[in-house]
């Protein structure tokens, strides 16, 4: 396997990780929740409605 010739400095490593996380966050598609109108990621249940559902199921 190819081996890196030099150790990547803490700074360089962190820069790479930070930019990767930033790109991931940017790629989220935001929509509004049909129940409460909050901003949520597409095809994901929103936090508020999730807790509401859990409470409703318990009662
Ligand atoms: Zn909601």
Neighbours of 4 (CB within 10 A): 6
Give the C-alpha separation, 22 to 24, whole Å. 5
Instruction: Determine the distance separating the centroid of ligand 1 and the alpha carbon of 57, expressed in angstroms.
Output: 16
What is the predicted pLDDT for the residue at 30? 83
Say whether 55 sits in a helix, a strand or coil.
helix
Instruction: Determine the distance separating the centroid of ligand 1 and the alpha carbon of 43, expressed in angstroms.
Output: 12
What is the average per-residue pLDDT within 37-56?
A: 82
Return the percentage of the chain with pLDDT > 90, whole number: 24
pTM: predicted TM-score of the whole model, two decimal places: 0.41
Give the model's confidence band at 50: pLDDT under 50 very low, under 70 low, under 90 confident, else very high.
confident
Instruction: Determine the distance separating the centroid of ligand 1 and the alpha carbon of 42, expressed in angstroms.
Output: 12
Model confidence pLDDT, tens digit, residues 21-40:
777 767 778 888 888 888 88
Cα dihedral 37, 39, 44, 17 in deg (nearest 10): -170
Instruction: Determine the distance separating the centroid of ligand 1 and the alpha carbon of 53, expressed in angstroms.
Output: 10
**Residue in the structure block whose two tokens are 């936090």:** 47
């Amino acid at each position: 396997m190819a081996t890196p010739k030099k150790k990547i400095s803490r700074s360089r490593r962190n820069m790479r990780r930070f930019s990767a996380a930033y790109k991931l966050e940017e790629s989220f598609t935001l929509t509004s929740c049909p129940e409460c109108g909050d901003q949520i990621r597409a095809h994901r249940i929103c936090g508020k409605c999730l807790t509401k559902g859990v409470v409703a199921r318990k009662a």
